[in-house]
Amino acid sequence: MKKPKSYKWQKNDGTGTMSRHLRSEHGLGPEGEEGSSGGGQAQLHGYASDMPGAGMPFVYNRDRMISELGRFIIADELPYSFGESVNYEYFNRVALQPQYRRVPRNTLKRRTQQSYYAYRGYLMEMFRTYDGRVSLTSDTWTSTYGEPFVCVIAHWIDNDWLLQKRIICFEAMEEAHNGFNIKSRIVSCCKNFHLVDKIFSISLDNATANTSAMQFLKEDPSIKLVLDEYGLRKKVIALDTPTRWNSTYKLLHDAIAYRDVLTDMYNESRATDGQFITNDHWSLAKIVHDVLETFDNATHIFSYVYEPNIHTVILECIKIICTIKQTSLANPGVAVKRLLDNMKVKWCAYFTEFPPIYAIAAILDPGVKLEGLTNLLTFYYQQLDVQFDVPYYVNNCKRILERLCEEYGAVIQPQPVGSSMGASRFGILGPVLKKSRPDGSGSSSSSSSSSSSSNIGVGEYLTYQFETEENFHIIEWWKNHSSKFPVLARIAKDILAIPASTIASESAFSAGRRVLDEKRSRLSSESIEMC
Tens of pLDDT along 1-15? 555 666 565 655 566
Q: Do the Cβ atoms of 296 and 251 come closer than 8 Å?
A: no
CA 157 vs CA 176, 194, 377, 477: distances in Å: 34, 17, 28, 14
When pLDDT is averaged across residues 122-143 and rounded to a whole number, the result is 87
pLDDT greater at residue 390 or residue 509: 390
pLDDT greater at residue 27 or residue 62: 62
Least confident range of 157-161, 173-177, 504-508: 504-508
Which of 523, 530, 447 is closest to 143 using CA atoms? Answer: 523
DSSP letter at 56? S
Which of 108, 85, 147 is closest to 522 using CA atoms? Answer: 147
pLDDT of residue 378: 94
When pLDDT is averaged across residues 349-378 and rounded to a whole number, the result is 91
CA 80 vs CA 66, 93, 392: distances in Å: 12, 20, 59
pLDDT of residue 454: 46
- Per mean pLDDT, which of 90-99, 331-340, 412-421, 422-431 is the most reliable? 90-99
Q: At what angle do helices 390-409 and 453-463 cross, to 10 degrees?
A: 140
CA 271 to chain centre: 50
pLDDT of residue 459: 83
Q: Average per-residue pLDDT in the chain?
A: 77
Per DSSP, the chain holds a count of helices (H) and strands (E) of 20, 4
CA 354 vs CA 351, 359, 402, 472: distances in Å: 6, 7, 19, 25
DSSP letter at 139? E
pLDDT band at 97 (very low <50, low <70, confident <90, very high): confident
CA 302/CA 363 separation, integer angstroms: 18
pLDDT of residue 491: 92
Residue 308 has pLDDT above 50, yes or no: yes
- This prediction has a pTM of 0.62
Residue 470 has pLDDT above 50, yes or no: yes
pLDDT of residue 124: 92
DSSP letter at 310? G
pLDDT of residue 33: 42
Which of 416, 314, 422 is closest to 367 using CA atoms? Answer: 422
Residue 376 has pLDDT above 90, yes or no: yes
CA 47/CA 380 separation, integer angstroms: 57
Strand order in 163-172's β-sheet?
A: 163-172, 148-157, 134-142, 199-203
Give the tens place of pLDDT for each residue, 440-455. 444 443 333 344 444 4
pLDDT greater at residue 381 or residue 275: 381
179-193 b/e (C-beta count within 10 Å ≥ 16 → b)? bebbbbbbbebbeeb
pLDDT of residue 49: 63
| Tally of residues, the chain | 531
When pLDDT is averaged across residues 357-365 and rounded to a whole number, the result is 93
Q: Do the Cβ atoms of 192 and 124 come closer than 8 Å?
A: yes
Which of 55, 193, 42 is closest to 126 using CA atoms? Answer: 193
When pLDDT is averaged across residues 32-52 and rounded to a whole number, the result is 50
pLDDT band at 421 (very low <50, low <70, confident <90, very high): very low
SS (H, E, C) 158-216: CCCCCEEEEEEEEEECCCCCCHHHHHHHHHHHHHHCCCCCCEEEEEECCCHHHHHHHHH
Three-state DSSP at 498 gives coil
Least confident range of 8-12, 56-60, 280-284: 8-12
Q: Count CA within 13 A, CB hemisphere, residue 222.
A: 13
Least confident range of 1-15, 373-387, 480-494: 1-15
pLDDT greater at residue 44 or residue 367: 367
Angle at 183 between CA 179 and CA 189, to 5 degrees: 150
To which H or E segment does residue 156 belong?
Answer: strand 148-157
Contacts of 276 (CB under 8 A, 6+ apart): 266, 267, 270
Residue 236 has pLDDT above 90, yes or no: no
Give the tens place of pLDDT for each residue, 407-418. 888 876 544 444
Task: Give percent above pLDDT 90 in the chain.
Answer: 16
When pLDDT is averaged across residues 281-303 and rounded to a whole number, the result is 86
CA 212/CA 182 separation, integer angstroms: 9
To which H or E segment does residue 138 belong?
Answer: strand 134-142
CA 24/CA 19 separation, integer angstroms: 9
